[in-house]
Structure 1
Amino acid sequence: MTHITILIKTKYNYRNGRVFTSPARYTFPVSDKGTHIVRLHFHPFTTPNLDLGLAQFHVLLNAHVALSNFTRLLSDATNPSIVEYLIWVDAEKLEIVFVPNKDSRLAFVNAIEVISAPKDLVPDTAQYLSSSKLEKFEGLNKQALEVVYRVTVGGVKVTPFNDSLWRTWVPDDGFFRPSVGSEKLYFGGRINYHVGGASREVGPDNVYNSARLIRSKNDSVPNVNMTWVFPVVGGYKYLVRLHFCDIASISVGLLYFNVYVNGNLAYEDLDLSYVTNSLASPFYADFVVDGGDGALSVGVGPSKSSMPHVIDGILNAVEVMKLNNSRSSLDGEVCADLVMKSWSTRNNTGMLFTLVAAVCIVLSLSIVIRRS
């Protein structure tokens, strides 16, 4: 696996950057075709001659529109914005193009990360779930994906230093609907990764060793559901990845529960020990759903097979990723060709500079390559 990070002087020094006044392209050589992780870091700042907070621009990733008239994450000048994508690359290079908007004529980036992803990170198939059907969704790994949420349930923030793919997992408190009868759990034992299940690259130990759960404390099964709600942009399909690891049961064959996405039944009587054949062994499930009215929900609750005096529901983590639309865009209805043509139309030359030459103001740049 190769991790290439184009950083500004030193890692996460957001007081430097590259600024573009015309379209500019970065080209990264790709030796291993497949899914690649791309992270773009943005943190606007001002100089005597520039105010990057006024920048408006498009970003293209291998002919996918990643960002269109990008300003939506630049309003908070105190915190950097990091946008992450998973892109299928079947050529010998990955291209990232920055195209300034005609009004601001200004684009910038503070850091770029490109990581060759493990083969099992994005599978070819998932389950498409709607109110009327549950069916196979094929070609998932060929879609462009934008990571919208990566949430650890019941635990603390997981930083890039504790994740082999340098990811950040935020706590679920801001998405969880308070539920009487649910509780958090931390597990201090060993996570049992197994072939065919989730790997450490899919989810690190620090994600699977915490959870929220429903526990029966008497002779009845609690009438409790745990629910998480995630605001999203409507008009797109989303990949909802649910992470499970039974770190609470005292024996296999005791935990049964239902799983819901957008209120639709995704799993009935889910038995993690049947899937993993052991306790504390991670498992994940992928569902593709429609964005609908601008919110996605995930629910976990007891099933008809749940039993008293044991655990009757558990969830360890949730990831939500936006899929590109029919125009190969993750941000709007304009395709990559039209973005480039719009610049060429209003400019006589329409030149595209690779790795930026005279058209950009270069403040500082360095490249770090990590291999693991």
Structure 2
Amino acid sequence: MGFGGFKLSSFFLFCILLLLSSCYSQFSPADQYSIDCGSPTNSTVGSRVFLSDNLASGYLTTPQNVLVDASGNSIPSSEYSQLYQTARIFSQASTYSFKISQPGRHWIRLYFYPFSASNYDLKTATFSVSTREHSLLSDFNSDRETVKEYSVNVTSGDLEITFTPSGGSFAFVNGLEVVSVPDPLIGNDAASVTPPTNFHGLLNQALETVARVNMGGPTVTSRNDSLWRTWVPDRGFLKNPNLATNVSNTNAVRYPRGGATEDDAPRSVYGTAARMASDNDPKSNFNVTWEFPVDRGFQYLIRLHFCDIVSEAPNQLYFNVYIQDSNVLPDFDLTTRLGGNLATATYSDFVTSSMNTDQIRISIGPSTVNNALPNAILNGVEIMKMNNSDGSLSGKDIPLSSKKSKSNVGVIAGVVVGVVIALVLILVLFFVHKRKKQERLNQSKIWIPLSTNGLSQTMGSKCSNGTTISAGSNFNYRCPFAAIQEATNNFDESWVIGIGGFGKVYKGVLSDGTKVAVKRGNPKSQQGLAEFQTEIEMLSQFRHRHLVSLIGYCDEKNEMILIYEYMENGTLKSHLYGSNFPSMSWKQRLEICIGAARGLHYLHTGYSKAVIHRDVKSANILLDENLMAKVADFGLSKTGPEIDQTHVSTAVKGSFGYLDPEYFRRQQLTEKSDVYSYGVVLFEVLCARPVIDPSLPREKVNLAEWAMKWQKNGQLDQIIDVTLKGKIRPDSLRKFGETAEKCLSDFGVDRPSMGDVLWNLEYVLQLQEAVLPNDPDENSTNVIGELSPQIHDFHTSGDENTSTGTGQFEMSSGDDISGVSMSKVFSQLVKSEGR
């Protein structure tokens, strides 16, 4: 009995130790500095020891040593009460400097409690706080307990935090922390709240925690969080608390291998949730909404935490998740996302556009998929402000509370007077600007971008009668606004066929019956005049069967409108996923890839200087009534480097998921950046899934990274579109995968040219249709090097001035390689490659 009792006691002791260990992180920070500012002795907060300000004085450079204590003040009861007993005062700019042993993301936590001390009333302090790269606080003033948390990427060997008094005031701080952040905690990618583009580059962003909220549960203090974070209850943020009810099942929470961990959020967050108070009423139809105060003019990273602790079986819970007015997770099913597992922790990251309101609204609501009962849940929310283009996080400081502070009458009066004066000045400047603008418009009403480079041409616009133009004059693609209104039924919303970064695209019919696509610029779009002009410049110069043709443009009435030939079958993307189009065969997909490659190859080689598209993606490859591919959207295009240069240095632009990582790192653009993006398209065509899908497990979110892992393991056949299973010849798939892999090489010099890619895709098609005899190098990773002279040594000849003209190509060497007839491989290339 004694021996059995000993074993039982040991078992209970083990369980207790295991339970206790779950409260602490397995992560051991490389850098951890905690300072109790102004204190003569060390202080303890939970498991953390905050060093005395005197012992930590080696970190601080300040011309004065002013320490104050809160004797006689009533300190609020909180987990940081011990830190609020003392403070350090700065009458001049002063800097804390910390040695960083491991570069990477670090937390900076600043603790403020303004009390009254001899000669100093901390409530009157006004000051700024900054690092070398970022402004954290500007003219900050606080009359209550405030904890500021920032996450910054430290790349140098030290981190400096500088406190600078404003005007004749002073600065103070009660406590300060600098702690390493686990590398996986914040990735580099996130979905955008407003598609179609996604956000890439979070690693370089400084972040400020605006809200960290435990939905449906109580406050989670830093003592119960593995990374010493505080989570506040959600009730104060609920727009209508009566629509939500709380649920709790902490013991059921599981963390999946390779997915969310306790460092992402503790069990006390994933184990509680706010859910619709629908009471299983099938007629319930409402959203549960939370509103969070934010600063205008900044983008925000929003992390939504989910754990299905309410369902009794898989696939019972379907719901929608909204941020602002965007449905970011439509018909969301947690068990399908997590392989059928219930009560499994996961999260999704989203980045907003620059906010033009002072609140972020997050809602959950029912979905009608599979006749599911109306229900929706949310377990946790984190909102982090992202630094602006100046590297600043400074804005109006909002306490992490849903309660609104009382207005100061004097401040309001001053603001009103200032606003009135500002409005008067704005009106004066507006009328002056408007008058000058009108004068400029009267002098030059029309922007005509292009010359004909010495050729006699006939205008391609169908908006008016053709006009012959001699050398040295301009194309006249300009269309009257009235004609475009008529063609689009006055921009009928039911005629909208797409929405992009530039604006809406309408289907239209010109007076002669020609179908057109009309792209109307949105004044609020981030794309504007530069993209509008670039599009006209590029498409007015080029005529090619695999480039979408420009029919006209309009710049009347402050409009920016582009008119293109109508592509009956829409985008390649819509045929791969997200619509009701029937699945395409492998041959159809290859022919589309070959057509797009021809268009890009022509851009790179068919003009005196290469043209780099910069936004190659499946949404910019359009299909006509015969599924012939044409490359579209040249608003971001750039002419390539001069002959004696290797690249063009330019700001990074493109679409998230397709962006060349070398271009992103070095901001040096070459044709190989298009090749990388095209390689992503190839995997997209093969796998028929989005290039970024935040609803998937972390290792699957990025298509290029995920597909490359399978390709390098020789198992690409495991992830292809299910409709293609058993329909692709192994040799064809192998060569296709090798071609895509080459395109996605980390360095541009290792990637093939578009001409090389074109040959390989033609070869892939031949391998699919028949076994090739006498293949000399069936196991090669590419046949690229041998063939590039044949591809590049050509020139155009003859008249190319009509849509039916033929571009002639001459090959510099033999017409048979590896048993493949060059005339067959390049059949379409020879017929009409460049016009």
TM value normalised by structure 2? 0.38
Q: Secondary structure of the residue that 1:120 maps to in structure 2?
A: helix
Which residue identity is paired with 1:152? Answer: N
Which residue identity is paired with 2:126? Answer: Q
Alignment of 1:324 with 2:324, yes or no, is no
CA contact (8 A) 1:197 1:276 kept: no
Mapping of 1:1-372 within 5 angstroms? 1-2=28-29, 3-8=32-37, 9=39, 10-11=43-44, 12-71=82-141, 74-76=142-144, 80-104=145-169, 106-130=170-194, 133-178=195-240, 182-214=244-276, 217-218=279-280, 220=282, 222-277=284-339, 278-289=341-352, 290-305=354-369, 307-309=371-373, 312-332=375-395
Pick which of 212-221 and 106-115 moved more: 212-221
Residues 324 and 66 (structure 1), Cα distance of their counterparts in 2 relative to 1, 3 Å cut: same
How far apart in 1 are the matches of 2:218 and 2:280?
30
How far apart in 1 are the matches of 2:217 and 2:348?
20
Residues 210 and 332 (structure 1), Cα distance of their counterparts in 2 relative to 1, 3 Å cut: closer
How far apart in 1 are the matches of 2:34 and 2:271?
29
Q: Which has the higher contact order (CA 8 A, sep 6+)?
A: 1
CA contact (8 A) 2:245 2:276 kept: yes
Count of aligned residue pairs for this structure pair = 324
CA contact (8 A) 1:61 1:94 kept: yes
Tell me the alpha carbon deviations over residues 238-292 of structure 1, each in whole angstroms, 9 at most, x when there is no partner: 1111111001101112211111001211011111112222111111111111322
Residues 134 and 230 (structure 1), Cα distance of their counterparts in 2 relative to 1, 3 Å cut: farther
TM-fit CA distance, 1:150: 0.6
Tell me the alpha carbon deviations over residues 348-372 of structure 1, each in whole angstroms, 9 at most, x when there is no partner: xxxxxxxxxxxxxxxxxxxxxxxxx
CA RMSD between the two structures: 1.9
Which residue identity is paired with 2:367? Answer: S
Residues 241 and 161 (structure 1), Cα distance of their counterparts in 2 relative to 1, 3 Å cut: same
Q: Secondary structure of the residue that 1:203 maps to in structure 2?
A: coil
CA contact (8 A) 2:295 2:395 kept: no
Q: Secondary structure of the residue that 1:177 maps to in structure 2?
A: coil
CA contact (8 A) 1:263 1:299 kept: no
TM-fit CA distance, 1:143: 0.6
Q: Secondary structure of the residue that 1:312 maps to in structure 2?
A: coil
Q: Which has the larger radius of gyration?
A: 2
How far apart in 1 are the matches of 2:395 and 2:327?
30
How far apart in 1 are the matches of 2:281 and 2:148?
48
Structure 1, unaligned runs of 5 or more:
334-372
Give the structure with the larger strand fraction.
Answer: 1
How far apart in 1 are the matches of 2:243 and 2:86?
49
Q: Secondary structure of the residue that 2:376 maps to in structure 1?
A: strand
Residues 179 and 171 (structure 1), Cα distance of their counterparts in 2 relative to 1, 3 Å cut: closer
TM-fit CA distance, 1:218: 4.9
How far apart in 2 are the matches of 1:218 and 1:63?
52
CA contact (8 A) 1:236 1:325 kept: yes
TM value normalised by structure 1? 0.83
Residues 180 and 134 (structure 1), Cα distance of their counterparts in 2 relative to 1, 3 Å cut: farther
Residues 211 and 134 (structure 1), Cα distance of their counterparts in 2 relative to 1, 3 Å cut: farther
TM-fit CA distance, 1:64: 0.2
Large movers: runs of 4+ above 4 Å? 215-219
Structure 2, unaligned runs of 5 or more:
1-27, 45-81, 397-835
Q: Secondary structure of the residue that 1:299 maps to in structure 2?
A: strand
Q: Secondary structure of the residue that 1:227 maps to in structure 2?
A: strand
Tell me the alpha carbon deviations over residues 40-81 of structure 1, each in whole angstroms, 9 at most, x when there is no partner: 01112222222222211110023200000111xx122xxx21
Residues 101 and 197 (structure 1), Cα distance of their counterparts in 2 relative to 1, 3 Å cut: same
Identity %: 40
Tell me the alpha carbon deviations over residues 81-132 of structure 1, each in whole angstroms, 9 at most, x when there is no partner: 110001111111111111111221x1111110111011121110111222xx
